[in-house]
Every structure is written in C-alpha cells, then in structure tokens.
Amino acid sequence: MTFIELYALLPLICLAATPVAALAAIAVSRDHAVVTLVTLIGLGLSFFGLCAVRPLVPMQITPLVVMDGYTLFFVGLILITTAAVALLSYQYLERREGHPEEYYPLLLFAALGACVVAASNHFASFFVGLETLGVSLYALIAYQRAAPRGIEAGIKYLILAATADAILLFGMALIYAKSGSLEFSETATSLAGDYSGLEMAGLALLVSGIAFKLSLVPFHMWTPDVYEGAPAPITGFISTVSKGAVFALLLRYFGEVPAQDFSSVAFCFSAIALASMLAGNLLALLQDNVKRMLAYSSIAHLGYLLVAFLAQRELAVTAVAYYFVAYFLSILGAFGVVGILSGSEGEAEDIKDYQGLIWRRPWIGAVFVTMLLSLAGIPLTAGFVGKFYVLWAGVDSSLWMLVLVLIGTSVIGLFYYLRLIAAMFGSPEAPREELRGRRAGFEAAAAVLGVLTILVIWLGVYPSPLIELIRRSAALSGF
C-alpha cells in the first residue's frame, strides 16, 4: 500500500480513530458533553477528509476497498446523518438513567461499519463492515438496560441478524466455490454468460441476506419490533444509515453483476419490491403506534427504492441516490420529533400523544407535518422529488406493473400519514404528560430538526444542485 492510497483512506481512518479518542475521553472523565463534542469533531474531521481526497478518486485501495465518487457520496451522507443522530440523542439520553457516554463510541463504530460497507467491492470487506455495523447496533438497540422492550428488541435483532449473516456467508461461499474469487468484478466475469444452479443458489442466499438487512418483505418480520423497542434516535439510525449502506452495496454489486439482465434475479427483485410496497403500506394502516407505523412505512419506502434499482443503470444510480437523501432527511426528522417529545420514561409513540400537537407545540408539529408530507411524497418537499425520480426511472424502463403498484400503494400510504396529521390538527385534549420544559441539549436537537426541515423544503423546491452533485459523483465512479 502506497502512501497515497493510505491518504485516500483518510476519511475512514479519521472515523476509526474517533471512537478511540472518545473512549479515552471517557476514561479521563465521564462527561456527556465532552464525549458528544469529541464525536462531532471526529465526524467533522472525517468529512473534511472526504473533501481532501476528492481529487484522488476513483482509486482502488487493496482489493478490498474502492474510493470513488459513489463511495464519497454515501460516506458523506452517513457522516452527516450520524452527526445528526448524535445531536438528537444528546437530549434524549440526558433525560434517562444510566451512563450515556458509551453510546457515542458505539454509534461511531456503527457508522464506520456502514462506511466500509458502502466502500467495499470485495466480499471480505463487505462482511467485516456489516458485522461492525451489526454488533454495534445490537448494543445500541438494547442500550437502555432498564427498558424491557429495548432488551427484547436487541435480542431479537441479534438472533435474526446472526441468522441472516450466516445465510449471507453461505451465499458468498457458494459464489466463491464457482468463481474462485471474492472480488465483485471477478465473480461477475464468472457469472457472465452461463450460470449454474450452484451460482443461482448462491445469489438467492445473498439476496435473502441483503433483503433482511433492508427489511424487505418477506424478511421484514424483525422491523416493527426492533423499531418499537430501540431508542428513537437509534431507530432513525437503523432506518437510514444501516439500510443506506447496504443498499449502496447492493447497487454496486449488481452494477458489476448485471442482475437486471438475469431474468430470474430481476423477477425475484420485482416480486420483493411488489410485496414490500403492498405489505408495508397495508400493514402500516393497522398501526396505532407511531414507531411501528414508521417501521412499516420504511419497508414500503425500500420497496419504492427497489423499483428505481430495477431501472436502467445510469437512471437507477441517480434516482436511488436522490431518493435516499430525501428519505434520510425525512425519516430522521420524524424519529427526531418522536425522540424530542418523549418523556423520561417510555416514548411518545401512541397516536394519541400527537393529538392536537400542532396547537400545543406549533413548531415541532410543523416539523413533523413537513416530514410526514415528505414521506408521503407531496410536492414542495424532498420526498416528492425523490418519488418523482423513482417514477421517472420506472417509466423510462417501462416497468409499468411496478409503477402502477407504486402509485396505488402511495395512495394507501397517504392514508396513514394523513391519519397522523389529522390527529395533530385535532383539538388538543389534555396530554398525558406535558413534556415541556427546557432540557440540556434541547436547543441542539431543535436546531437539527430545523435544519432538516429547511433541507427537506429546499430540496423539494430547488433540487438542481443536489442532482448535479449526484451526477458528478456517479461520473467519478464509472457507472
């Protein structure tokens, strides 16, 4: 490895060094604010690292990792999201029992794992990254040891994710058995032309494992329980960073292996997309718990993303990237609101907690309405441009069946978002627990929500700069 290759890894190195620094800071003195500050500084340095290595890309560093425009884009997205989650977590943890400090190193490890997944083009680095992400998440989900539901969610995620990892490994092994290599491009060349039953089995297992991580139907069973049990900021993290990284990998792997050309693989993804859109939206209708509702809605959103994924290459990359930005902002904002409204015990998760919110707390209510409208894909929000892009890609590739189901299920989806919005506009009945009152870190969380809202509206009104950025990133990565 040359020095220049090492230098190109600067963002990842910074990110890896930050949790160590944070742990060192905890060892010196347990101070929540200091740890948070170290975390943010580390994420900031890492982000500057991204800008610094930008002229060097694309560059393959060892067979394991590739730094190209596409990697930089997703790593940047993960870093910003992690910083937002850290800021949203501060006031959430401040109100609760127990030591909040170790939370941040875990969060950073998870982010590091996600970045490695997004940067990998080799099965080994993919798996290592995935495990770093997964193991940190088990701990983060169950971080509040006093909450039985958190523990339950953590154990559930641990067992199911471990099973999924085993399936994934087996799939990789089968593909390796045929191609003799763990590099994506090598497996692609061996897959090109003819493919045997062994490879099909390998691909099927691989797809199952990835679908689990993305909580696509029929591998979605864990999602509502884990979303419900995990602390609200971590739920936001799972549904954005962890899924985004794995989807980025999916796009990269099937960029090398032209899955869309294998009718059976394309068929399989179409079926998963249809099932996810339908099941996600229909099951969300039945929920009274806001976190569970958002869990099912995220299943549906990943289904929409698969529609874009199945479109032609160039379109798929820009559509998916834009949709992810919009989805990241909106879902993070939504869980941020859930977190900020939560008291010191339990969370504001029942739809009754939101009754008349817009009159009780107009600003937070307005933020939540914006986020929900964005998730529903109403114009002048980022979510609309994202959905427009997905439809655009779908129509261009003549995926009419999927496009029509997307439209139909979007209307169903609107039903439950509006139900929540209608509750917020309802008459304010006496709230169970008035959650007002200044808390440490409230301003930080409120500022994050404010920035997210402005971004959601800005990207909905004037998406050109982001589209340009995505296109330039895609151009630097050979898609």
Partner 1 sequence: MILVWLIALPLLVGILAWIAERRGVGLSRWVALAGLFVEFAIVLRLWADHPIRMLTPGRATWLVELKLAWIPQLGISFHLALDGLSLLLVALAVFLAIAGVLCSWTEIQERVGFFHFILLATVTGIIGIFLAVDLILFFVFWEAMLVPMYIMIATWGHEHRRYAALKFFLFTQAGGLLMLAAILGLYFVHGRATGTYTFDYGQLMAASIPAGTAMWLMLGFFAAFAVKLPAAPFHTWLPDAHTEAPTAGSVILAGLLLKTGGYGLIRFLFPLFPGAASAFAPIAMTLAVIGIFYGAILAFAQTDLKRLVAYSSISHMGFVLLGVFVWNELALQGAVVQMLCHGISTGALFIIVGQLQERIRTRQLPRMRGFWETAPRMGAMALIFALASLGLPGLGNFVGEFLVLFGTYTASPGMAIAAAIGIVLATVYSLWMIYRVFFGPRKDAVKFDDLDPRESILLVVMGAVILWVGLFPQRALDTAGPTLRALERHVAGSTARMAGKPDTTETSLSRWMGIVLPSGRDRDR
CA distance 291 to 304: 20
Q: Which is nearer to partner 1, 161 or 414 (CB)?
A: 414
Among 403, 445, 449, 476, binds partner 1 (CB under 8 A): 403
| Piece of the chain touching partner 1 by CB under 8 A; list 179-187, 193-201, 332-340, 405-413 | 405-413
Q: Hey, which residues between 122 and 141 contact partner 1 (CB under 8 A)? A: none
Q: Residue 289 interacts with partner 1 (CB under 8 A)?
A: no
Query: Does residue 179 touch partner 1 according to CB under 8 A?
Result: no
Give the residues across from 67 on adjacent strands. 59
* 227, 290, 463, 473: which one binds partner 1 (CB under 8 A): 463
Q: CB of 428: closest distance to partner 1 in angstroms?
A: 12
Please report whether residue 52 would count as binding partner 1 according to CB under 8 A.
Answer: no
Work out how close the CB of 464 gets to partner 1 at its nearest, in angstroms, rounded to a whole number.
5
Minimum distance from CB of 478 to partner 1 (Å)?
20
419 binds partner 1 (CB under 8 A): yes
Total residues interacting with partner 1, rule: CB under 8 A: 30
Contact pick of 181, 185, 190, 410 for partner 1 (by CB under 8 A):
410
Q: By CB under 8 A, name the one of 173, 177, 404, 447 that touches partner 1.
A: 404
The residue from 190, 467, 475, 479 that contacts partner 1 (CB under 8 A) is 467
Interface of this chain with partner 1, residues 377 to 396, rule: CB under 8 A:
378-380, 384, 388, 391-392, 395-396
Segment interacting with partner 1, rule: CB under 8 A, options 35-43, 97-105, 132-140, 464-472? 464-472
- Nearest residue (CB) to partner 1, 160 versus 418: 418
Of 288, 462, 472, 478, the residue at the interface with partner 1 (CB under 8 A) is: 462
From 108-116, 186-194, 329-337, 373-381, span contacting partner 1 (CB under 8 A): 373-381
Q: How far is the CB of 391 from partner 1 (least distance, A)?
A: 6
The dihedral through the CA atoms of 266, 119, 117, 140 has a sign that is negative
The interface region with partner 1, picked from 244-252, 288-296, 375-383, 433-441 by CB under 8 A, is 375-383
Nearer to partner 1 by Cβ, of 52 and 422: the residue is 422
Among 195, 425, 458, 479, binds partner 1 (CB under 8 A): 425
Q: In this structure, which amino acid lies at residue 322?
A: Y
Dist CA 122 CA 63 (whole Å): 7
Per CB under 8 A, contacts with partner 1 among 337-366 are 359
Paired tokens of 271 = 């079926």
For partner 1, the binding residues (CB under 8 A) are 359, 373, 378-380, 384, 388, 391-392, 395-396, 403-404, 407-408, 410-411, 414-415, 418-419, 422, 425-426, 462-464, 467-468, 471
